[in-house]
Structure 1
Amino acid sequence: MQTEIRNNWTKQEVEEIYNMPLMELMYKASTIHKEFQKTGEVQVCTLLSVKTGGCKEDCSYCSQSARYNTHVQPHKLMRTDDVVQKAKQAKENGSTRFCMGAAWREARSNRDFEKVLGMVSEINDMGMEVCATLGMLDVEQAEKLKEAGLYAYNHNLDTSREYYDKVITTRTFDDRLETIANVQKAKISVCSGGIIGLGETDKDRIGMLYTLATLPQHPESVPVNALVPVEGTPMEGNKMVSTWEMIRMIATARILMPKAMVRLSAGRTEMTTEAQALCFMAGANSIFAGDQLLTTPNPEEDADKVMFNLLGLTPRASFKEVKEESVSV
């Protein structure tokens, strides 16, 4: 009997799954992963900061906030040619999705936004899935990005509704949900997850997963980030979370949202190959490649190639979901 895709989870059900004995949880997640995904296939994404620092937001974990004195040197929007060159390098190194991040509170309909539309169009023409994270979007901006060829939009919830204002005060949890709704209206895939290690409780982690799993449409991609504490931010003293906490989040996300790509995101640098293997076993099937993840370190591509060979993993082809849908019609 096939596992049902549900959007009507109760918080208690999510809590019961999250609190299962770890080996049992991993087994259940792995079984569901095998039912809905091609095991051993991992989506390789590259993330580039196209406009860094100087952000007006006060996200307590972020090195790019203008409110904190961190190692990040602000720079304006990159030239289109330079971004396209980076995308070509990423494609040559095996990435099938190219994500562009701009440290904006919200996208504004100005020359910079028009430049980003041009970048999206050129990278889409290269046969890569294009993803962007530009802050808050209205429906019109989302539609323009879709027309330019944007495949996915990243807008993380970060944490639970209840803990949200302990992390960020310059925008609300509902602002985030509104942007996700605008992106879905424009028929763009949603990439939305969160960060653990912000000082939240298990209850908050459960609350965040509950919100994602009860959206009218599950995010196509769910990044699970471990906070990498950055000197100069209010959370510089936070402790790194354990591998087991990451596995619990990944496995629960996999069970709740079987069709989603669950991305092992920030914090991979601190993880051994063995730890990452357990995350893949628990249902993770997407990573960021390259030596930099926005402004925090990431394992270098060569190390990932060694790991892929060792674990028998293969990169997922771009636009796979679209191709499969067109074949089945």
Structure 2
Amino acid sequence: MNSDLQIRHDWTIEEIEKIYNQPLLELVYRAATVHRHYHPANQVQVCTLLSIKTGGCPEDCAYCGQAARYNTGITVKPLMSAEQVVGIARRAKEAGSSRFCMAAAWREVRDNRDFDNVLEMVRGVNELGLEVCCTLGMLSQSQADRLQLAGLHAYNHNLDTSENHYDEIISTRTFDDRLTTLNRVRKAGISVCSGGIIGLGETHADRVNMLHTLATLSKHPESVPVNALARVRGTPLEELPKVDTWEMVRMIATARIIMPASMVRLSAGRSEMSTEEQSWCFMAGANSIFTSESDELLVTPNPRLDDDRKMFELLGLIPMSTDKHYA
């Protein structure tokens, strides 16, 4: 069997570094070969991401426009009602989404009425036949168990960056805190969605190290989002340069090779990429994108759904069916 087609959890940093640093065209070819072995080449999962509670977060993530301590001009909005959320999810399914992701700008989940409302949202979206995903911050084990019982399919909790670079970006929770939440999600029987952001001032070694952490978990995350920094005015990282598309392609391709069965999600940063640039990401192994009813992804720009439909038609891509379950 081709060694690239094996699912491994014993990757070394040196092995991943060698893959990451190989000539770009060879890297993309290898990744495309792996992708076609594990996934339909022409199918892309369309996911709708909704901010169910916006802004006012007590964390200090240096990239985030929702952090209360930064003056970003974002309007703080309270938790939406379950009825509102389920209505948006229904329209998302009609528009072609098969996964519905709900994000709340919280540091951690608290056992209160808001969490009860989120559980009601999960139940309602699940009844629509959509994969339902949440990203709510840190979880206790009992909270993860309650989400699973409500029908939660997946939980997103990104590492963001490498353990070495982490303290340069966030001080209000630790890298180990993130791994603890991932372990609790896994123990609850919920699918894990975890990736990171490039363009945070990290080195190539940091990117390799972040991928190494994910690829050496006892079970790979079923979903690996790859985000380019969306520079938000008022945050400490607002002056950093735009992430080069080829850096995104290299990151996606490496993730595809070392975590072959995972969904690799082309996430934040698409608004600054042309159709041609996005097509390279799909060729490199990305098989999911995020959309929303507006032209924003949470609080940063995102392509409009009509533009994505045109891109799919041009590239011969089709949305994954809502009557099948993908990780």
Counterparts of residues 220-231 of structure 1 (less than 5 Å): 220-231=222-233
- Tell me which residue corresponds to 2:187: 185
Q: CA deviation at 1:75?
A: 1.2
Structure 2: where are the runs of 5+ without partners? none
Give, in whole Å, the separation in 2 of the partners of 1:224 and 1:239. Answer: 17
- Tell me which residue corresponds to 1:327: none
Give, in whole Å, the separation in 1 of the partners of 2:28 and 2:125. Answer: 37
- Tell me which residue corresponds to 2:32: 30
Q: Which amino acid aligns with 1:150?
A: L
Which residue, out of 297, 312, 315, partners 2:316? 312
- Tell me which residue corresponds to 2:176: 174
Is 1:292 the counterpart of 2:275? The answer is no
SS of structure 2 residue aligned to 1:320: coil
- Tell me which residue corresponds to 1:244: 246
Give, in whole Å, the separation in 1 of the partners of 2:38 and 2:80. Answer: 39
- Tell me which residue corresponds to 2:150: 148
Counterparts of residues 206-217 of structure 1 (less than 5 Å): 206-217=208-219
Give, in whole Å, the separation in 1 of the partners of 2:323 and 2:105. Answer: 27
SS of structure 2 residue aligned to 1:112: helix
CA offsets, 1:215-266, max 9 Å, x none? 1110000000000110000001011111100000000000000000000000
Whether the 8 Å contact between 2:159 and 2:194 is mirrored in structure 1 is yes
Whether the 8 Å contact between 1:83 and 1:119 is mirrored in structure 2 is yes
Distance 1:147-1:319 versus aligned 2 partners, 3 A rule: farther
Q: Which amino acid aligns with 1:157?
A: L
Structure 1: where are the runs of 5+ without partners? 324-329
- Tell me which residue corresponds to 1:326: none
Q: CA deviation at 1:121?
A: 0.1
SS of structure 1 residue aligned to 2:271: helix
Whether the 8 Å contact between 1:129 and 1:319 is mirrored in structure 2 is no
Give, in whole Å, the separation in 2 of the partners of 1:81 and 1:155. Answer: 25
Whether the 8 Å contact between 2:93 and 2:322 is mirrored in structure 1 is no
- Tell me which residue corresponds to 2:307: 303
- Tell me which residue corresponds to 1:13: 15
Distance 1:230-1:135 versus aligned 2 partners, 3 A rule: same
SS of structure 1 residue aligned to 2:66: coil
Which has the higher mean CA deviation after the structures are superposed, 309-318 or 29-38? Answer: 309-318
- Tell me which residue corresponds to 1:55: 57
Give, in whole Å, the separation in 1 of the partners of 2:304 and 2:326. Answer: 29
Give, in whole Å, the separation in 2 of the partners of 1:286 and 1:172. Answer: 28
SS of structure 1 residue aligned to 2:164: coil
- Tell me which residue corresponds to 2:110: 108
Q: CA RMSD in A?
A: 1.1
Whether the 8 Å contact between 2:96 and 2:322 is mirrored in structure 1 is no
Q: Which amino acid aligns with 1:284?
A: A
Q: CA deviation at 1:106?
A: 0.3
Distance 1:246-1:133 versus aligned 2 partners, 3 A rule: same
Q: Which amino acid aligns with 1:221?
A: S
Give, in whole Å, the separation in 2 of the partners of 1:266 and 1:152. Answer: 19
Is 1:85 the counterpart of 2:87? The answer is yes
Q: CA deviation at 1:319?
A: 6.4
Which residue, out of 163, 166, 176, partners 1:164? 166
Give, in whole Å, the separation in 2 of the partners of 1:312 and 1:159. Answer: 33
- Tell me which residue corresponds to 1:274: 276
Give, in whole Å, the separation in 2 of the partners of 1:179 and 1:91. Answer: 29
Q: CA deviation at 1:8?
A: 0.5
Give, in whole Å, the separation in 1 of the partners of 2:24 and 2:322. Answer: 33
Give, in whole Å, the separation in 1 of the partners of 2:300 and 2:326. Answer: 32
CA offsets, 1:62-120, max 9 Å, x none? 00001100021111101111111111111111111000000000001110000000000
Identity of aligned residues (%): 63
